[in-house]
Structure 1
Amino acid sequence: MARGTFYDGSRLHPRHVRDRQFATVGFGRRGLNPSEVRRFLHRVALDLTALHRDLALLSEENARVKRALRARQSTGPERRQR
């Protein structure tokens, strides 16, 4: 993956995290550019927040659908006999 910002508005994928490369700091210093690392970590945190929110909503919907299915199955045979 190329260096620098890759944010294009799409969801962060595991390959983005695995392949991410950070620029090194300027001459006379060692390590990665701290502001670039912070920006990337902020992006990871935002996407993970969205994923956790989506997971919670889907879990709630799944529970609702299961309840509705159970209710329908428990009243289903009675309706067919009429």
Structure 2
Amino acid sequence: MNQGTVYTGRPPRLHPRHVRDRQFATVGFGRRGLDPQQVRQFLHRVAWELASLHQDVARLGDENVRIKRALRDWQSAQAQRRMS
């Protein structure tokens, strides 16, 4: 564990930039390895998917707040109507 960090029991959240900026070691001559271009293409695809998912989570969080606010307003209106 790194000094100064708090262990939360899970790895840090993966962001698109982590995937996009990931570097892989190259293999020596005569050894098998992966095609670097295919790896980069795949990492960009994964980064795009992560970015899309992060946007969805943010949008759904905003929608959740809006729905909770509307429910509280409706409940307040119902309570006031009962008191009248």
TM-score > 0.5, shorter chain as reference: yes
- Residue identity (%): 59
Displacement over 3 Å in runs of 4+: none
For the residue of structure 2 that corresponds to 1:40, the secondary structure is helix
The offset of 1:28, in angstroms, is 3.1
Indicate the RMSD between aligned Cα atoms, in angstroms.
Answer: 2.2
Counterpart of 2:76 (choices 64, 71, 74) is: 74
For the residue of structure 2 that corresponds to 1:54, the secondary structure is helix
1:81 & 1:59 partners in 2: Cα distance?
A: 33
For the residue of structure 2 that corresponds to 1:45, the secondary structure is helix
Structure 1, unpaired ranges of 5+: 1-26
Structure 2, unpaired ranges of 5+: 1-28
2:83 & 2:57 partners in 1: Cα distance?
A: 40
TM-score, normalised relative to structure 2? 0.59
Counterpart of 2:47 (choices 45, 48, 66) is: 45
For the residue of structure 2 that corresponds to 1:28, the secondary structure is coil
TM-score, normalised relative to structure 1? 0.60
State the number of aligned residues: 57
